[in-house]
Structure formats: C-alpha cells, structure tokens
Structure 1
Amino acid sequence: MAPNQRIVSGRPQKGFFSAAYEEVTNPENTTIVRSILVFGAGVAFFYSSLGELLLPP
C-alpha cells in the first residue's frame, strides 16, 4: 500500500469574518453592497419617526 499523501498549502485558511470583509471590499461587488446599504437606510428611515413627515396632513 502506498502511504497517504498530504497536500500542504502555503497560506492558512481564512476565517469567516476576514473572508466576508474581503468579499464586501471586492471591487466586483460594489454595486451590490451599495444597493444593500441604500435599501437598509431607506428601511431605517421609514421605520423611524422621520418617516411620518412624508404622510399627508
């Protein structure tokens, strides 16, 4: 029987947060990240008391 071979990579595996940060800051994902932020800001605005200013008198 041949001995088991291990493949050793040069860099350690990344954690969840570092991989997520790298994907968020990736230039290919800027439009997606921007649209999610604008949507979140809109939801926060309408949920706050400032959203009542848009209601007709």
Structure 2
Amino acid sequence: MPPKRVLVETSSRSRGGSKGVFRQTYDTLTSAENAPVVRSIAVFGVGVAILASSWAEYLLPPMN
C-alpha cells in the first residue's frame, strides 16, 4: 500500500494570491461594519482643517 500524501500549508508570504498591505487597509476601511467609524474620523478631520484655516473667521461674531 503506498503512503498517504500529507499536504503542508506554505506561509502566507510565499503564496502569490496573498493581499498586500495597502489592499488589506483599503478593504478594512471600506467594509460596511467600519463605515460609521471612518465617517466620524473624516468629519472630525474636516472640522479641524476648517477651524485651523482662515475660514474659521467666518464663525466669529461681527465686531461693532
């Protein structure tokens, strides 16, 4: 009787079908379960950018 073959998995780095770091990050950011967190971070970033710019002067009350 011939011996049975045993399949040994190779490491994920040596396989050609593995995803890269940027693709994994993109998939994580665009997944449906992470959408509220990504949106809130984006809105916070936009708010900080507006308050740090010269457009923040429009929020000040007029000086008489």
Matched residue, 1:49: 54
Deviation per CA, 1:14-51, whole angstroms, max 9, x where unpaired? 11100000001100001001001100110111011110
Q: Which amino acid in structure 1 is aligned with residue 8 of structure 2?
A: R
Q: TM-score, normalised by structure 2?
A: 0.69
Indicate the structure with greater helix content: 1
Q: 2:30 aligns with which of 14, 25, 29?
A: 25
Unaligned runs of 5+ in 2: 1-6
Unaligned runs of 5+ in 1: none
Q: How many residues align?
A: 53
C-alpha RMSD of matched pairs (Å): 2.2
